Structures are given as C-alpha cells and as structure tokens.
Amino acid sequence: MNKGTKLAMGIATISLLLVGCGKATSSTSSKSSSSSEALSGKVTAVGSTALQPLAAKAGANFQAKNSKVNLTVQGGGSGTGLSQVQAGAVSIGNSDIFAEEKEGIKADKLTDHKVAVVGMAPVVNKDAGIKNLKMAQVKQIFTGKITNWKEVGGKDQKIVIINRAQGSGTRATFENAVLKGATAVKSQEQDSNGAVQKIVATTPGAISYLAFSYFTNKLQAVSIDNVTPTDNNVESNKWKIWSYEHMYTKGTPDKAVAAFLKYMDSKTVQDSLVKDMGYISIHDMKVTKDAKGTVTQN
C-alpha cells in the first residue's frame, strides 16, 4: 500500500508537470482567443535587459490594477525579444534597437512602440585621468588607433577596451553614433551592463560605455566635445549616443497587451517611473530619430 501510494504520487507529479508544460505553451499561442473578455489574459514581454527593470516594475504596477491579467517580463537580450515576437511565441518583444537594424527580422511585420529613451556614454577607470574626449578620439580608441591614455592627455597607461558582445543593442547604439561604420578593434567582451560597470571600476586603464542609469561614483563618465552626458542633452540631441527602448508587437495586439502598452505611454509611467529608474521619458524628447539614424526636430 505504502509503495502503491508513493508510486501514484510520483506518477501524479510527473503528469502534473507534463500538463503544466502543455498549458504554458498553449496559453501563449492562444492568447488572441481570450481577447473577448475585458482585460484578462496573458502578456509576455521578453528581450532587452536594458529595458527589463522598467518593464518589470511597470508590469507589476499594471498587474496590481488588473489582477486578471497574467503579465510576465523576462530578459534574454534584444535579439531574443525580436525573434520571439516575430515567431509569435511572446506578445511583446523588448529591444534596444530598431527591428530594421537586425538582420533576419522582418520589420514591416512588427509594430514599434517606443516606451523610453536611454542615453549612453563612454566610461573610464578613474585612474586614467580622463574627463573629456573628442568624438574622433573616442572613435580612434575603439578602433585601436590610440592605445595609451597619454595620447589623449591622460596618464601613461595602456588602454584596456571592454566592449559589449557582438549583436548587443547597447553596442549597436554606441557603434552607430561613434564608429559610424568603422569596425571596432577586437577586445574583451562582456555580456551585461553590470559586468562592464564592475570591470571598468576595478581595471586600471579600462574604457567601455554604459547606460546613464549604471553610472556610479566608482567610475568616470566621459564628456564628448565638452558636452556632458545628461538627460537634458539627450533630449535636445546635443548628446548623440542614445537609443529608444522599443516594445514590439506582431499583428493587432489583444486587449490586455494594448492596455499595457497604453499604460507604458501614460503620464503615470512616463513622468515618474521612467525617470525614477534612470531612463528618459519619451514625452520629453525634442527630437525624433528614425531607424536609419536620421534625427528631426519635433
């Protein structure tokens, strides 16, 4: 009897697990069918780790108001977000870059919702003695033409370049604004803002680039051409290295997804949450950038 019950329990657990798996996959694929009811259903947002903290916080607030909506936010990278939303596996694909910029993504099939702006700036280890660089110098450093800090007015110290992984949204933004088509010299690569932050702070002579929200007093954010990396300068496009945070959807989003996207664009999120978490509100931008990088005044 004892053995029998144990067995039965084991089988029950396994079958529950199997049923659980089945449910999870079926509910993501049949999300559009549940749209008839007002604000219930499942919203899955996957992708960019730069947008993840904001999306998760906003998602939690949204869910507190709409308890029937099952909202999950996951990381995985911009590439994952775009390919998953394109495949129809998730309802929202988070990305740091325009879908047009990513090879293998059919951008015309996706709808872009810009939810925030992120500014990025070069950061250097404090020992290097660098506070300002010319744009051309930054480019020469990252293409390997300048290899010692004394060449740009710093200490006699070897430059250690810490890049982000190839295909990373942050790297794409930085290279578009700074390298403008030139190829970066092969160097160390890290896969997250957090790792870059830690390594630049502790490695003498290190340079990398980070989103504004990751600045700490342990590292030196660098001004370019005497423009300081601040939110105001991004809003007027005086500071050139910035990108939108996108939430991509495919086809017509169901009610829950549409409501969440509307909530992301609302004043509650844009005026408080976005700023509190170190992003720049989409409403404050005085310029618009398109997928080709052309900037127009609003």
Binding site for another protein (CB under 8 A): 3, 7, 49, 75-80, 82-83, 87, 102-105, 160, 165-169, 183, 186-191, 195, 198-199, 202-206
CB of 238 to another protein, least distance (A): 29
Q: Is 9 helix (H, G, I), strand (E, B) or coil?
A: helix
CB of 129 to another protein, least distance (A): 18
CB of 71 to another protein, least distance (A): 21
Question: DSSP assignment, residue 251?
Answer: S
- State in Å, rounded, how far the first CA of the chain is from the last one: 76
> What burial class does residue 258 get, using C-beta atoms within 10 Å of its C-beta: 0-12 exposed, 13-18 middle, 19+ buried?
middle
CB of 80 to another protein, least distance (A): 5
- Residue placing its CB nearer to another protein in the complex, 189 or 284: 189
Between vectors from CA 294 to CA 110 and to CA 258, what angle results, nearest 5°? 30
Question: 164: which strand partners?
Answer: 190
Structure tokens at 110: 């996706």
- Residue placing its CB nearer to another protein in the complex, 186 or 292: 186
- Residue placing its CB nearer to another protein in the complex, 39 or 199: 199
- Residue placing its CB nearer to another protein in the complex, 216 or 288: 216
Question: DSSP assignment, residue 176?
Answer: I
- Residue placing its CB nearer to another protein in the complex, 17 or 295: 17
Distance (Å, whole) CA 193 – CA 188:
14
CB of 264 to another protein, least distance (A): 22
